[in-house]
Chain A
Amino acid sequence: MVAPAILLLLAFFFTPVMLTGVFAFTDMSTSTGIGRGSYVVTPTTLRRLGDRGLGADDAEAISAASYAVDEAGLAAARDAGTDAAFLADIEERLTGETFETARDFELALRDLPSAPRSPRALKSAADLFGQSLVNHRFETRDELAEALAAHAPDVAEEMREALTDDAYTGAVFTTENFTRLATQPETGRLIANTALYVGATLSLFNVGLGLFLALVLFYMPKPVTGLFSTLWLLPRITPVVLYTIMWKWFTWEDGFLPILAEQLGLPAFNYMKGSVVTAWMTMISLNGFIGASFGLILFSGALRAIPLQQLWASEVDGASRLQQIRRVILPQLRWPILFVTSYQTLSLLSSYEHIWLTTNGGPGRTTTVWALEAFKTALSNYSGNLEYGLGAAMALVLVVVGLALSILYLRLFRFGDLVGRPRIEF
């Protein structure tokens, strides 16, 4: 049993966490790509190097292009399978000529009688007679270094080194993501939002409402209990998209709540997005109703495990319902409450899908929580600038916080006692 468990743990927890950990220390983004980068000298690279002391002459030498119709070029074209008639034309009419730009050379080639119809074929043939270094993708550092040395031998070696470094398009290792998270004021707001969201949802709904419902149902006749338990399960078993759409019908202009409010003379507007307070209330309730059913089931099960004799005995002693709950029931529900609290804290910390589909962190960014921001940063935003590295760093923070909280909960609720050996023999 242990081996499969370890394998599953490895595949679904340690590997993703490890990858997140690695990505978190890179500047990986849409522009760098996920895989290995290439080496490209662009006008932007030259401009950047210009700021760091690359002379205008050097920049010109590097960006200079020349196309020469000579033996070497003709041989290369022959090897690449250039059409024989076209090649013959080139040899006959252009041998010995040189061209300053690709465009000039292409124009000359297009004038040849056997020039291919396809622009791509013609341009590919032109490339065989010499190339500009600028804007070419080199797969390895050595390839670029070699080409640079051949193309612009007069440029100082350290400048060529710097240029090669700057030309790398892939991701590099950095601790910048964590510096940024540690210094930006936005981090504080995200933490406050997340604390409010998790704290309120957990205390009011997942534990509070769940416990309240479980207690109320416990004292009700059996058939009623079954019906209500099933009803409270609906939010959990409804597909997320459908559930969020129902909340939109419920809270948007012309939805159920605003229409009701209008009848009662209360302010009626889009409660989900129209004000910060109602957006928070909507977001907490819609997540809370899902969590409440989870607590309800667990607490109901635990309540049934309490020996009825204890309740009868307390009633004989004259205890009221409240006293019964406080002195007899709640102490015996400590473990389920521990479990619901710790489990739901972790799941709320990392959940964003319901928020994304409803308030989407708005109005403005007032209901944006950590997990939603991590998701948007890494995977989904308007400008399409996906910052995988920063997003991974944010996710890693969640993993660390989650682990720390788990340990704290376990100590706080003395988990060791729960799983320890029973003191009496059965």
Chain B
Amino acid sequence: MPSQNLLRGAAALLLSCAALPALAQDYTITVWAGGTGDDSNYRMDAIDMAADILEREAAIRGEELSITVESQAWSGWDDFKQAFTLASEAGNAPDLIVSGHEDIGPWSEAGLIVPIEDYVYLDTWPLSSIYPNLIDVASFNGQIWGIPQDAEARVMYWSIPALEAIGWSEDEIASLPDRILNGEFTLYDMLDALKAMQDDGVLEPGMGFGPRVSNGPDYWQFYQAFGGEMADPESGKLVLDTEALTGMYQFFVDAADMGVVSSTHLGMEWDAWHQNAAAGNYGAWHGGTWHYAQWTNQFGLEDFFGTVQYTLIPAGDENGRANSITHPLVYLLTAAAPEEEAAIAAELVAIASEPRINALHAVKSAHLGISEEETLVPLYAENRWLTAASERLAPHTNAIPNNSDFGTYWTAMYEGLEASWTGVTSVEDAVAEVEASVTQALGDDVIVR
């Protein structure tokens, strides 16, 4: 059996068995969190709180334990993933990483992270209380690599005043979520409504639709809306559904042709998008549940429930379904952590997953909780938005697949969207290019339909 594993195991054994209670132990645990803005500080602060609890527990056992937590927040994804990958290759990676679950595939294959299941008991509270579907999202190749840190839903938001202005009744607005869920109201019905808003002068030209301005899991929702499937549940292989991809690209091209969104929308600035969303300048726009926190805290949106309706992403055609994607972030243990630090870091993650601590993150950043118990924490339970989103959206969410090749597919999908949306290529050519590049890169590991 592998010599390195044996050595690590032996070190762990020595640590647990030989360490005498009287010895003071000092640990420095480093944490890097990606996609972490002003509202998501508890991704790291929870580890800090956990360290305090673990120190106190150790003191009660008669051990002296001192933990220093050093954390770094990265607001974006590109630079964060680049930094972690290159730091790992150079041997300077932190002990703990908070990243998207889809990174488990490539990072585990490259040996940059270690399975957290080797360091914790998943059948012990609080980890045992985490929703099983979230644990599945943190699993890859039959091992559990990470502990889910949050969950979410992605949302189609609608301007209530704009819908009223084109003659929608209160009932019609209230029943929109159900009509979308049943597939009665599709993406193309949405475009018609948005066009009407612009034609009636309710909205500025080109401001009807406000899609996400950069790459994100969000765009897979539109692929699913046209019947696309990202991975085959049976074989685990990636699936490229050319018909669904065509439907998706064509939808954005049609939206641009109708003038409800600009053909150069992608690449716009986030701040401008947030301002327009919070000010009700769009008729419909899609984002995440967590944007609620940003709009109400930083962009001056006051009466959210009075002015904004929220639904799943509508179905695109009869093949597709109304849907929403959840993209849980996970705590991952890196291979760079020395054995003792890794064991401590894993314990900290377990404590940080306790309902009350995780609820701080969920409520402050408007993410969904990771366990049933967390929804009972008063802070969480009394939050109208989280409760509403949990009921209306969360049950219909699915996650993107954990597959080390998914990044290649994702990049190709988004490049095709950019090319067709801006009119550089036709929809057919864009789809053909995605197909060619994905099959060339992945061969038999992708199923083309």
Which residues of A pack against B, CB within 8 Å?
A: 29-35, 38, 40, 42-44, 47-48, 51, 80-83, 86, 110, 116-121, 123-125, 127-128, 131, 134-139, 143, 147, 169, 176, 179-180, 183-186, 189, 252-253, 270, 273-276, 279, 359-366, 379-387
Known: A121-B17, A384-B81, A384-B407. A81 touches B10 (CB 8 A): yes
From the candidates B142, B263, B265, name the one contacting A43 in the complex (CB within 8 A): B142
B121 pairs with A119, CB closer than 8 A = yes
Q: Which residues of chain B in 1-46 are interfacial with respect to chain A, using CB atoms and an 8 Å cutoff?
A: 1-6, 8-10, 12-18
Q: Which residues of chain B in 419-434 are interfacial with respect to chain A, using CB atoms and an 8 Å cutoff?
A: 419, 421-422, 424-425, 429, 433
B1 pairs with A31, CB closer than 8 A = no
Chain B residue contacts of A147, Cβ below 8 A:
1
Could you list 7 A-B pairs, sorted by A, with CB under 8 Å?
Answer: A80-B13, A116-B16, A123-B119, A186-B437, A363-B422, A365-B415, A385-B106
Further 15 A-B residue pairs, CB within 8 A, beyond A83-B17, A120-B339, A364-B419:
A29-B106, A30-B110, A30-B407, A31-B106, A81-B18, A121-B16, A184-B440, A253-B272, A361-B267, A364-B266, A380-B82, A383-B407, A383-B410, A384-B77, A386-B81
Chain B residue contacts of A143, Cβ below 8 A:
2
Q: Is B171 an interface position by the 8 A CB rule?
A: no
B263 to A: closest C-beta gap in Å: 8
Q: B425 — nearest CB in chain A belongs to which residue?
A: A185
Chain A residue contacts of B142, Cβ below 8 A:
42-43, 134-135
B103 pairs with A139, CB closer than 8 A = no
Known: A81-B14, A169-B109, A364-B266. A120 touches B342 (CB 8 A): yes
A118 pairs with B15, CB closer than 8 A = yes
Count class of interface residues, chain B = 35 or more
**Complex-state Cα separation, A194 to B314, whole angstroms:** 39
B85 pairs with A137, CB closer than 8 A = no
Q: B88 — nearest CB in chain A belongs to which residue?
A: A33
Q: Is B262 an interface position by the 8 A CB rule?
A: yes
A117 pairs with B16, CB closer than 8 A = yes
From the candidates B110, B121, B141, name the one contacting A31 in the complex (CB within 8 A): B110
Q: B105 — nearest CB in chain A belongs to which residue?
A: A31
**Complex-state Cα separation, A29 to B15, whole angstroms:** 35
Chain B residue contacts of A86, Cβ below 8 A:
17
Interface centre among A38, A120, A123, A380 (most CB of B within 10 A): A120
B419 pairs with A124, CB closer than 8 A = no
From the candidates A42, A116, A127, A186, name the one contacting B415 in the complex (CB within 8 A): A186
**Complex-state Cα separation, A143 to B6, whole angstroms:** 14
B437 pairs with A180, CB closer than 8 A = yes
Top 10 A-B pairs, shortest CB-CB distance: A385-B407, A362-B267, A384-B81, A364-B422, A121-B16, A124-B9, A363-B264, A83-B17, A33-B110, A364-B418
Main secondary structure of the interface of B (DSSP, over half): helix
From the candidates A270, A275, A363, name the one contacting B266 in the complex (CB within 8 A): A363
B15 pairs with A121, CB closer than 8 A = yes
From the candidates B85, B118, B343, name the one contacting A30 in the complex (CB within 8 A): B85
B9 pairs with A189, CB closer than 8 A = no
From the candidates A35, A48, A82, A365, name the one contacting B424 in the complex (CB within 8 A): A365
B85 pairs with A384, CB closer than 8 A = yes
B115 to A: closest C-beta gap in Å: 8
**Complex-state Cα separation, A278 to B107, whole angstroms:** 40
A71 to B: closest C-beta gap in Å: 17
Known: A47-B236, A184-B436. A124 touches B8 (CB 8 A): yes
A382 pairs with B421, CB closer than 8 A = no
Q: Is B383 an interface position by the 8 A CB rule?
A: no
Q: Is B404 an interface position by the 8 A CB rule?
A: yes
A386 pairs with B82, CB closer than 8 A = yes
Chain A residue contacts of B408, Cβ below 8 A:
385, 387
**Complex-state Cα separation, A143 to B445, whole angstroms:** 27
Known: A42-B142, A47-B236, A118-B12. A180 touches B1 (CB 8 A): no
